[in-house]
Amino acid sequence: MRPDPHTPSQTRQVTLPSGRTIEIVYLDEPPMPEPFVAEDPGASVLDERAARLAEVAHDLTLCGACGCAFVQPVDWDEAGPRHWRLELRCPNCEQRGTVVVEDEVVDHYDLELERGAAILARALHETVEQNVEDEVARFAAALDSGLVLPEDF
């Protein structure tokens, strides 16, 4: 008889910086197909696992102390053949923490970091644009009220 695909061979509990405790399940063998499913029978198991890994990766970006959504890794090292030890830092409140996660979580975490970097880049662009608009408006107002004269240049 083949082993039950839903029975994990090994589990481990990890506490994330957000304070949430997750259970990491190691599957030594690829998930087996669900019975009586016609197409791509392993897809739902894999989708569920990918969704869980993405959720864990997203949690790594959240600060448990202040709620900031931009917690970043300041260092990471391999911790065994399938795990990484991440040292995380909150840029808002300087909270720090260390977590050990599996390779697949780190793959999703890379995507989370890229998403966060894109959000920050967009916010910077909008801030610079708003500052330029404000500066032009102040200069125009100063010109209109005669506060800026040709001899000022």
Residues within the interface to Zn ion (CB under 5 A) = 63, 65-66, 68, 90, 92-93, 95
Considering the complex, state which of residue 24 and residue 71 has its C-beta at the smaller distance from Zn ion: 71
> To 10 degrees, the CA torsion angle through 108, 110, 116, 117?
-160
How near is the Cβ of 63 to Zn ion at its closest, in Å? 3
Give how far the C-alpha of residue 36 lies from the chain's centroid of Cα atoms, to the nearest Å. Answer: 36
Considering the complex, state which of residue 94 and residue 129 has its C-beta at the smaller distance from Zn ion: 94
How near is the Cβ of 64 to Zn ion at its closest, in Å? 8
If you search the block for the tokens 């709620």, which residue do you land on?
67
Structure tokens of 140?
């125009």
Considering the complex, state which of residue 72 and residue 92 has its C-beta at the smaller distance from Zn ion: 92
How near is the Cβ of 138 to Zn ion at its closest, in Å? 35
What's the angle, vertex CA 44, arms to CA 41 and CA 50, rounded to 5?
Answer: 130
